[in-house]
A and B are shown apart, each in its own frame.
Chain A
Amino acid sequence: AQSVTQPDIHITVSEGASLELRCNYSYGATPYLFWYVQSPGQGLQLLLKYFSGDTLVQGIKGFEAEFKRSQSSFNLRKPSVHWSDAAEYFCAVGRLTSYGKLTFGQGTILTVHP
């Protein structure tokens, strides 16, 4: 069975500081990995996705993520956080990009201090 673990429920950073959100997955085959962001009361917006190839993936809003097969991880990073990045972030794993279910982690709430 596939599963996703986001170990940090809540992270607080200062504006301008760097950010890393952790994601570990369990999957029996080559995973398709995603990071989504959700603002309060809103749907999910795709930040980036990984299928294959280069293990460092660039996304929108200055985010990037690195796929590490040996560690079963897909951590999200941003070098300098902006106040508008405050939201909840979800890591997800699937079998394909557009077929079948996505399994989501529990989410990490990001608070940004001025």
Chain B
Amino acid sequence: DAGVTQSPTHLIKTRGQQVTLRCSPKSGHDTVSWYQQALGQGPQFIFQYYEEEERQRGNFPDRFSGHQFPNYSSELNVNALLLGDSALYLCASSVTGSDYGYTFGSGTRLTVV
């Protein structure tokens, strides 16, 4: 059973550019959350998607946006990249209403130069 799949695994972008990160949730999961993990820090919640709607959002600027598709997969978009956006971006999937908790992917390492 495939877990959470994220692509790409690594990415290098230039300041000011835009980036799209992708996440396929674990089979049977309907909810996707995105986290940013800066070096040496714990993950910080960006937002969560359920039924193709943003259900909850953390303290991130509007440059961070997302989307969830009918097959439950999700994209994270970041516009006008800053050096401070360099981080590991983690996707987590879950089943709303269940007690199973969250399953995390291995992440996308974004480097902004």
A interface with B by C-beta (< 8 Å): 4, 34, 36, 41-46, 49, 51, 90, 92, 97-107
CB within 8 Å for A45 and B42 given contacts A51-B99, A99-B31, A100-B56: no
Q: Mark B16-38, 1 if CB is under 8 A from A, else 0.
A: 00000000000000010101000
Number of contacts between A and B (CB, 8 Å)? 73
Asked if B73 lies at the interface with its beta carbon under 8 angstroms from chain A, I say: no
CB within 8 Å for A98 and B106 given contacts A103-B45, A106-B41: no
The answer to whether B107 touches A97 (Cβ under 8 A) is no
Which applies to chain B's interface (DSSP): helix, strand, loop or mixed?
A: loop
Asked if B66 lies at the interface with its beta carbon under 8 angstroms from chain A, I say: no
Chain B residues in 8 Å Cβ range of A51:
99
Chain B residues in 8 Å Cβ range of A34:
101
The answer to whether A105 touches B42 (Cβ under 8 A) is yes
CB within 8 Å for A42 and B106 given contacts A51-B99, A98-B100, A104-B42: yes
Number of interface residues of B (CB under 8 A): 31
26 contacts between A and B (CB under 8 A): A34-B101, A36-B104, A41-B109, A43-B90, A44-B43, A44-B90, A46-B102, A51-B99, A90-B43, A92-B42, A97-B98, A97-B99, A97-B100, A98-B31, A98-B94, A98-B96, A98-B97, A98-B99, A98-B100, A102-B33, A102-B43, A102-B45, A104-B42, A104-B44, A106-B40, A106-B41
